[in-house]
A and B are shown apart, each in its own frame.
Chain A
Amino acid sequence: AQSVTQPDIHITVSEGASLELRCNYSYGATPYLFWYVQSPGQGLQLLLKYFSGDTLVQGIKGFEAEFKRSQSSFNLRKPSVHWSDAAEYFCAVGLVSGGSYIPTFGRGTSLIVHP
Chain B
Amino acid sequence: DVKVTQSSRYLVKRTGEKVFLECVQDMDHENMFWYRQDPGLGLRLIYFSYDVKMKEKGDIPEGYSVSREKKERFSLILESASTNQTSMYLCASSQQGSRSYEQYFGPGTRLTVT
Interface residues, chain A, with chain B CB atoms under 8 Å away: 6, 9, 32, 34, 36, 41-46, 49, 90, 92, 96, 98-103, 105-108
Across-interface contacts of B35 in A (CB, < 8 A): 105
Interface residues, chain B, with chain A CB atoms under 8 Å away: 4, 31, 35, 40-45, 48, 50, 90, 92, 94, 96-97, 101-103, 105-108
Who on chain A is nearest to B50 by CB? Answer: A100
Across-interface contacts of A108 in B (CB, < 8 A): 40, 42
Docked-complex contact A99 and B42, CB < 8 angstroms: no
Across-interface contacts of A36 in B (CB, < 8 A): 105
- Given known A-B contacts A99-B96, A100-B96, A107 and B105 have beta carbons under 8 A apart: no
B44, B48, B103: the one within 8 Å of A44 (CB): B103
Who on chain B is nearest to A103 by CB? Answer: B103
- Given known A-B contacts A96-B101, A105-B42, A43 and B106 have beta carbons under 8 A apart: yes
A22 to B70, CA, bound (A): 39
A96, A100, A107: the one within 8 Å of B42 (CB): A107
Docked-complex contact A43 and B4, CB < 8 angstroms: yes
Docked-complex contact B108 and A43, CB < 8 angstroms: yes
Across-interface contacts of A100 in B (CB, < 8 A): 31, 50, 94, 96-97
A32 to chain B, nearest CB (A): 6
A43, A98, A99: the one within 8 Å of B90 (CB): A43
Docked-complex contact B105 and A49, CB < 8 angstroms: no
Across-interface contacts of B107 in A (CB, < 8 A): 41-43
Docked-complex contact A105 and B96, CB < 8 angstroms: no
